[in-house]
């Protein structure tokens, strides 16, 4: 007996898995409010639940698991959830609604489906491309100027490179300028050659702020400069994945920045610092200068302490607030650098890197709410110029 049903399929999986029947959920028209998870035991399509889940897009499996469709040791599980094409699309963008699938009742309970034609696949990609344009245009209206066919070519290329649809969607929506880079796949292939993973590349191209300068020659230049500076392959991949704006810098700018940092730290310390905090290579120099000056001159902390902290990763306001809190509470006294005088102040790493709750309790026995109230008041003081005046008075008293 043949029963016409509707099915929920992983988009694009037909092309990759022609050897298996791509059946996830079936719904009989005679019972339109119910979806049935097929019993694949003994079938030629899926011989176990692990086989079923391994054949499906991992994100689809996660979505189905969250909704209770995939139960341990169960292949017959009836659920009441979706009954329309719209509902399917709302469930997850990687799910496609397919019409006219036949359920063949036989001894093996195998499932046969009508072939998905090239036209079906083409329409599927068009829908996906239009969805990307729609979402990307909310961030960049120029995304609407890119033709759907151009985006489809980009999608097809990325799929061939084994990127998931979720990754493709995230990259183009996060950084819509990439839609206007038809040569993007060439850059991606080059990054693969350097050892970057799919996840690394997703982070790099979605975060880089100036996509126009991203080229093979630029990537090669930056990679070689970083190697010459002392970065090994592991630290290099980590740095560029975490801070892709390093690609915006030219070799001369990197060398100039290093020469400036040499005024504060030894060369060996600079190499160590940039491996841990690559942002110091491209962050605004005035911002870095303010942080260094405050900690060195205002707090009296040495470079030896600085190099073991995340000083340049925190906002200046955070550093100042922690210091002023300790100073007013009597836990911090500016060192006078007198011979033989012992410095009993907390270490810089404990001052700036300790979580708010731990910091407040350790220094004063306060709650996290108390500290955040102080922080809010401190920002108001700084906004009205009260903090700057107080700093000048304290520094003057210290010098006297």
Element spanning 124, H or E: helix 118-136
- Identify the helix (H) or strand (E) that includes residue 378: helix 368-383
| The token pair that represents 61 in the structure block | 């499996």
Lowest-pLDDT range, 176-185, 272-281, 285-294? Answer: 272-281
| Confidence grade of residue 246 (pLDDT, cut at 50, 70, 90) | confident
Q: What are the DSSP E strand ranges found in the chain? A: 2-10, 25-28, 35-37, 77-79, 95-104
pLDDT digits (tens, 9 = 90+) for 77-104: 222 233 344 444 444 444 443 333 333 3
Q: Look at residue 206 and tell me whether its pLDDT is greater than 80.
A: yes
Token pair 């607030």: residue: 321
What pLDDT is stored for residue 234 in this prediction?
83
Higher pLDDT, 343 or 263: 263
| Whether the predicted pLDDT of 187 surpasses 60 | yes
**Residue 74 buriedness (CB in 10 A; 0-12 / 13-18 / 19+):** exposed
Q: Please, how many CA atoms are within 13 Å of residue 296, restricted to the half-sphere of its CB?
A: 15
SS3 of 157, please?
A: helix
- Of 78-82, 142-146, 228-232, 247-251, give the range with the top mean pLDDT: 142-146
Helix axes 118-136, 148-160, angle to 10 degrees: 110
What is the C-alpha separation between 106 and 83, in angstroms, rounded? 26
Question: In this structure, is the dihedral angle defined by the CA atoms of residues 272, 278, 279 and 284, taken in order, positive or negative?
Answer: positive
Report residue 388 as tokens: 């700057």
Residue 222: is its pLDDT beyond 80? yes
When mean pLDDT is compared across 93-102, 149-158, 206-215, 362-371, the lowest value belongs to 93-102
The dihedral of CA 141, 142, 147, 149: what is its sign?
negative
145: CB partners within 8 A, 6+ apart: none
User: What is the spatial distance between Cα 211 and Cα 174, in angstroms, rounded to a whole number?
Assistant: 12
Residue 111 banded pLDDT, cuts 50, 70, 90: very low
pLDDT digits (tens, 9 = 90+) for 17-62: 323 223 333 332 223 222 333 333 322 233 333 434 444 444 444 5
Any idea where the domains of the chain sit in the sequence?
A: 2-115, 315-400
What's the pLDDT at 45?
Answer: 34
Least reliable range by pLDDT among 91-105, 108-122, 293-307, 379-393: 91-105
For range 106-119, the mean pLDDT: 41
Q: Reading across the β-sheet that carries 2-10, which strands appear in turn?
A: 77-79, 35-37, 25-28, 2-10, 95-104
pLDDT at position 43 is 29
How far is Cα 395 from Cα 378, in angstroms, rounded to an integer?
A: 19
Residue 148 has pLDDT above 60, yes or no: yes
54-63, 160-169, 215-224, 313-322: the lowest-pLDDT one? 54-63
The residue written with tokens 């120029």 in the block is 142
Of 269 and 53, the one with more pLDDT = 269
Mean pLDDT of 117-125: 72
The answer to whether the CB of 100 falls within 8 A of the CB of 112 is no
Residue with token string 């210091």: 323
Residue 257 pLDDT class (50, 70, 90 cuts): confident
- Which residue shows structure tokens 């401190």? 378
CA dist 354 to 299, 348, 369, Å? Answer: 17, 10, 16
Q: pLDDT tens for residues 319-352?
A: 999 999 999 999 998 877 555 556 789 999 999 9
> Rounded CA gap, 212 and 214, in Å?
6
For residue 373, pLDDT over 50 is answered with yes
Dihedral angle computed from the Cα positions of residues 295, 297, 300 and 306, in that order, rounded to the nearest 10 degrees:
40
CB atoms under 10 Å from CB of 159, counted, come to 17
Q: Residues near 299 by Cβ (< 8 Å), separated by ≥ 6? A: 323, 332, 334, 348
Cα dihedral: 233, 234, 235, 236 (round 10)? 40
- Mean pLDDT across 154-161: 92
pLDDT grade for 157, boundaries at 50, 70 and 90: very high
How sure is the predictor about 75, in pLDDT bands with cuts at 50, 70 and 90?
very low
**pLDDT (0 to 100) of residue 341:** 59
Token pair 């996906």 is at which residue? 128
Query: Would you tell me the crossing angle of helices 368-383 and 386-399 to the nearest 10 degrees?
Result: 90
**What's the Cα-to-Cα distance from 82 to each of 79, 89, 97, 302, 306, rounded to whole Å?**
9, 10, 11, 64, 57
Q: How is residue 324 written in tokens?
A: 């002023």
Bridge partner residues of 4 (DSSP): 102
Residue 132 has pLDDT above 50, yes or no: yes
First to last CA, the chain: 99
């Amino acid at each position: 007996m043949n029963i016409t049903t509707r099915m929920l399929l992983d988009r694009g999986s037909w092309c990759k898995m022609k050897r298996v029947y791509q059946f996830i959920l079936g719904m009989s028209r005679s019972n339109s409010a119910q979806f049935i998870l097929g019993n694949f035991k003994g079938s030629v399509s899926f011989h176990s639940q692990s086989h079923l889940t391994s054949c499906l897009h991992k994100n689809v499996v996660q979505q189905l698991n969250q909704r209770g469709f995939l139960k341990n040791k169960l292949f017959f599980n009836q659920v009441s959830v979706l009954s329309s094409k719209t509902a399917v699309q709302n469930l997850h963008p990687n799910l496609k609604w397919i019409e006219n699938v036949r359920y063949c009742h036989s001894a093996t309970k195998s499932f046969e489906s009508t072939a998905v034609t090239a036209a079906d696949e083409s329409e599927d990609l068009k829908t996906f491309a239009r969805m990307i344009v729609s979402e990307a245009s909310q961030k960049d209206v120029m995304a609407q100027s890119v033709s759907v066919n151009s985006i489809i070519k980009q999608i097809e290329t990325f799929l061939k490179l084994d990127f998931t649809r979720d990754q493709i969607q995230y990259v183009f929506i996060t950084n819509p300028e990439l839609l206007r880079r038809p040569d993007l796949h060439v850059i991606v292939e080059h990054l693969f050659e350097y050892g970057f993973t799919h996840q690394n590349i997703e982070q790099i191209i979605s975060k880089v702020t100036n996509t126009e300068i991203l080229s093979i020659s630029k990537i090669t230049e930056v990679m070689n400069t970083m190697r010459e500076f002392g970065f090994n392959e592991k630290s290099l991949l980590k740095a560029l994945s975490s801070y892709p704006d390093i690609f915006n810098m030219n070799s001369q700018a990197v060398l100039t920045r290093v020469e400036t940092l040499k005024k504060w730290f030894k060369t060996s310390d600079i190499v160590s610092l940039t491996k841990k905090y690559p942002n110091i290579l491209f962050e605004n120099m005035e911002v870095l200068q303010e942080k260094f000056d405050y900690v060195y001159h205002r707090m009296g902390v040495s470079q030896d302490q600085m190099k073991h902290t995340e000083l340049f990763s925190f906002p200046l306001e955070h550093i100042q607030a922690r210091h002023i809190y300790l100073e007013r509470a009597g836990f911090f006294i500016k060192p006078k650098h007198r011979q033989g005088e012992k410095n009993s102040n907390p270490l810089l790493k404990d001052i700036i890197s300790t979580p708010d709750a731990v910091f407040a309790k350790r220094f004063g026995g306060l709650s996290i709410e108390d500290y955040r109230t102080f922080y809010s008041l401190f920002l108001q003081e700084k906004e009205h110029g009260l903090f700057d005046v107080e700093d000048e008075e304290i520094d003057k008293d210290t010098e006297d």
